[in-house]
Structure 1
Amino acid sequence: MRLLFVTSEIFPLIKTGGLADVSGALPAALATTGLDVQILLPAYRGILAQCDAPRLLGSLQAFHDIRCELYQTTLPGTDIPLLLIDYPALYDREGGPYHHPQHGEWQDNPLRFGLLSKVAAMLSVPNMLQPWLPDLVHCNDWQSGLTPYYLQQLASPAKSLFSIHNLAFQGNFHADWRHRLMLSEQDFQPAGYEFYGHLSFMKAGLYYADALATVSPTYAKEIQTEQFGFGFQGLLQHRTDDLTGILNGIDTQVWDPASDPYLPAHYTSSALANKKLVKQALQAELGLHQDATGPLLGVVSRLTHQKGLDMLADIAHELLASGCQLAVLGSGEPALEQQYLALMRQYPGQVVVTIGYNEPLSHRIMAGTDIFVMPSRFEPCGLNQMYGLRYGTIPLVANTGGLADSVHGGAVMADGTLPETMTGLVMPENNPSTLLVTLRQAVHIYANSGQWQQLQKQAMRQDVSWETSAKHYFELYQDLLDI
């Protein structure tokens, strides 16, 4: 079975969020099942230089005015073929894959990711670049949403699977882009790629793909409701038989407290003592007081309303007054960034906020904190709660999406122990007062070292690897190809 995996970001080359982690880990897990996998990615600035001996395969005339080159290399740290679309006018620029340095979206994003989608489809039909043709094309999020449409346009025999990582980001653009992207005028309608008068990459993926997947079973149900469907709930209800929810895994080699190169000491579930050393080193690194009696709370996230971090900021004063500490890493909405920076100024030595993204520091926060806070208003899957489980850093999460599927709550029993199934704290409702109550429950358990260590060990015993998830994808591919 030959699989082309199409993505707009991939760890370790380019990362803005969980999609990069999934794209870096899932193909590798699939390769162990015997799949013949290739990955397709835009050659953003500096990526060719990061790869081992990229080889020019040739060029493709994707659109009337765009002829791009295609390079083949391997994904660093693996032997999986990586195909890179080289078109400097669209990809060789400062900033992120979606936004320019001033945070606004690139105005030509429809063309940038229309090119990604078109090249993916062109590689699935006979071409002059390589004899390898995929049986199935796995597209991820709106950036590759036009791929299933182009597959149909080119009469490709390849099947398509479209994965929804976050339905809130839809790739909706002015209708005029359909001409530049060579989309048929007759398909600009509700039974096509049109969405409330716009060209929608997400709509194209949802409508034209042979099958749909999303990143947790609960989220698959949620997106068929008005609350979480973002206007697509009707279409998703119509395609409910084609929609599968598969919980993501994590790369347990990259995220391993027993060998993580970013940590000053290592530990396991059966030898937890060094976790305290990691915490002390993190406190020293960040300038936090080391004599605090309460737990150290961690946040590594986009600072946005979706992530519920405005609620955490609203109750922070009460938490901090009880002796907790807070370490935050992330960026996002300017007002929320400023709210957290103000907390740091008000509570020196108790709150530290690092604006931006820092992979090594994210590992140390994950290992060195006691409680990882994720009060998301919606969360398709989430990976940080799984990193928390892996590192014995107890996740406190909202009861939504993949958080609900991966973290199991509970309460102290009459004999002073915790349920054997408990792996974290789950908010029964999503509001600031419930977040505060749930955090206080976590602090209460933390104060009992025996209960806390039991909870840590139970969390660390959870299987959060990609192995199980990859098997589910493999079965989904087989069903799609009728194998």
Structure 2
Amino acid sequence: YVGVYSIEHEGVTYYFLDNEFYFKRDGLYGYFDDGERFTWFSKAVCLLGKHIDFKPDIIHTNDWHSALVNLYVKDFAIGDDWFKDVKTVFTIHNLKYQGIFDPVMLGEVMGVSEDYFHEHGIEFYNNVNFMKAGIVYSDSLTTVSQSYSEEIKHPYFGEQLDGIIRLQENKLTGILNGIDYEEYHPKKDGNLVANYDLRSIKRKKENKVALQKMYNLPVDENKPMIAMVSRLVSMKGLDLVAHIFDELLQEDLQFVVLGTGDSSYEDMFHYFQHKYPDKVAARIYFSEKESRQIYAGSDLFLMPSLAEPCGISQMIALRYGTIPLVREVGGLKDTVHHYDPEKKEGNGFTFTNFNAHEMLFALKEALALYKDREEWMQLIKQAMKSKNDWQESSKKYRALYQDLTKK
């Protein structure tokens, strides 16, 4: 059973597929039958066009959940000319999550020949790998930053798929994600205590004062505030924070964290909040409203990620004039550039290696610059002028689509 619904919004028709047996659940993922659920979804997507009399030029899929679309289009085209000139694009957002299932899926659920189950097909250590199906059978392969597209060709970031990605690299492109500049707009954001833009940056401090009061920190608009809004997991570089947190908190600063994740990191931040009540505010939950106030009220935004295919948080921080301090990896490397006070170039602070004291050195460099109010204001302005909306990225996707269809 497939229910099909549609709605038109701003001149675009959106279609929704319905199957209560597979998708009327509390969450999207993490069920024992995920392989079957997303096989159903992929097959339904492929067949939808024939039923509504709409033949797409391109079907663009994302991550393992819709990756089988790329295989099905090729498979259906063998016996049905309707599919022969339909092109597919597959985007990898995070190679770590691959959709790996028992090979019994192949015939019983997927309904495809064992001819696809081989080293250069969808076989992965004697299992079926949905992500690999997208990589191999798509006509064009993209990922969410130029740096990540290079990183995944190597074993450290390749999640055991680097070999097949190197074989497919001629069709691989890195195109940055972006943020909606109307949604994330410090002048219009209704979540903020004080709205501001480039011409009224001084009002940013009103948000810091409001944040200090909200989180029971001593009110001091001149005290540097470092923030993290993040899933509390190892991939986000929290082991580096744990290693130098005591040393960092000897500085005259405040540290705010918002997010949930592994209990070990949640407990760590609770511990440091108890140890340094005037310096640390740990909010172990997520609130969109509070996250906006943090983006607006903080001075530095810390993202020391072990891996970060693109990253959105640093883009939001830049938009709100909160200076990102990031590890040079994936999309962080492509969007944040180390500030050079001599040349007046750059929009944040960066460090290269996954090393706690290298991060601490960058933090101390940032805190030293913060004391120079004129220089810091220049850096805020450069951060807010950074371009991370969808304008440039959408042009690149359009060019890719045109190249695929030769239109």
TM-score, scaled to structure 2: 0.94
Shift of 1:293: 5.2
CA distance in 2, matches of 1:209, 1:92: 29
CA distance in 2, matches of 1:277, 1:68: 52
Counterpart secondary structure, 1:298 = strand
Q: Which runs of 5+ in 2 are unaligned?
A: 78-82
What residue in structure 1 maps to residue 350 of structure 2?
Answer: 426
CA distance in 2, matches of 1:203, 1:439: 39
CA distance in 2, matches of 1:299, 1:317: 16
**Structure 1 residues 184 and 406, CA gap change in structure 2 (3 angstroms):** same
Higher helix share: 2
Deviation track 1:424-451 (CA, whole Å, cap 9, x = no partner) reads 0011322111111111111111111111
Alpha carbons 2:255, 2:281 under 8 Å: kept: yes
**Structure 1 residues 399 and 137, CA gap change in structure 2 (3 angstroms):** same
Deviation track 1:335-380 (CA, whole Å, cap 9, x = no partner) reads 2222122222222242222223322222111111110100011111
Counterpart secondary structure, 1:111 = helix
The answer to whether 1:72 aligns with 2:3 is: no
Deviation track 1:239-258 (CA, whole Å, cap 9, x = no partner) reads 11100011121100001111
Quick one: which amino acid aligns to residue 180 of structure 2?
D
Alpha carbons 1:304, 1:310 under 8 Å: kept: no
**Structure 1 residues 188 and 369, CA gap change in structure 2 (3 angstroms):** same
Deviation track 1:130-149 (CA, whole Å, cap 9, x = no partner) reads 22221101101111111101
Alpha carbons 2:209, 2:220 under 8 Å: kept: no
Counterpart secondary structure, 1:294 = coil
What residue in structure 1 maps to residue 212 of structure 2?
Answer: 283
Of the candidates 142, 158, 164, which is equivalent to residue 86 of structure 2?
158
CA distance in 1, matches of 2:193, 2:40: 43
Correspondence 1:228-307 to 2 at 5 A: 228-291=157-220, 294-307=223-236
Alpha carbons 1:139, 1:162 under 8 Å: kept: yes
Shift of 1:112: 2.0
What residue in structure 1 maps to residue 144 of structure 2?
Answer: 215
Counterpart secondary structure, 2:230 = strand
What residue in structure 2 maps to residue 81 of structure 1?
Answer: 13
**Structure 1 residues 359 and 79, CA gap change in structure 2 (3 angstroms):** farther
Counterpart secondary structure, 2:2 = strand
Of the candidates 64, 69, 72, which is equivalent to residue 142 of structure 1?
64
The answer to whether 1:118 aligns with 2:40 is: no
Counterpart secondary structure, 1:289 = coil
Alpha carbons 2:314, 2:332 under 8 Å: kept: yes
Correspondence 1:182-221 to 2 at 5 A: 182-221=111-150
Counterpart secondary structure, 2:344 = coil
CA distance in 2, matches of 1:387, 1:297: 15
What residue in structure 1 maps to residue 320 of structure 2?
Answer: 391
Quick one: which amino acid aligns to residue 475 of structure 1?
A
What residue in structure 1 maps to residue 28 of structure 2?
Answer: 97
Of the candidates 399, 402, 405, which is equivalent to residue 475 of structure 1?
399
Shift of 1:292: 7.2
How many residue pairs align between the two structures? 400
Between 1:179-188 and 1:132-141, the stretch displaced more is 179-188
TM-score, scaled to structure 1: 0.80
**Structure 1 residues 368 and 169, CA gap change in structure 2 (3 angstroms):** same
Quick one: which amino acid aligns to residue 381 of structure 1?
C
Of the candidates 241, 247, 252, which is equivalent to residue 323 of structure 1?
252
Q: Which runs of 5+ in 1 are unaligned?
A: 1-66, 99-104, 414-418
Between 1:327-336 and 1:449-458, the stretch displaced more is 327-336
Alpha carbons 1:293, 1:323 under 8 Å: kept: no
Of the candidates 358, 365, 378, which is equivalent to residue 294 of structure 2?
365
Shift of 1:72: 1.4
Alpha carbons 2:205, 2:221 under 8 Å: kept: no
Quick one: which amino acid aligns to residue 96 of structure 2?
A
Deviation track 1:193-216 (CA, whole Å, cap 9, x = no partner) reads 111111111000001000100111
What residue in structure 2 maps to residue 22 of structure 1?
Answer: none
Deviation track 1:285-341 (CA, whole Å, cap 9, x = no partner) reads 222221375311111111111110221132122222212211111222222222122
CA distance in 1, matches of 2:401, 2:95: 22
Quick one: which amino acid aligns to residue 225 of structure 2?
L
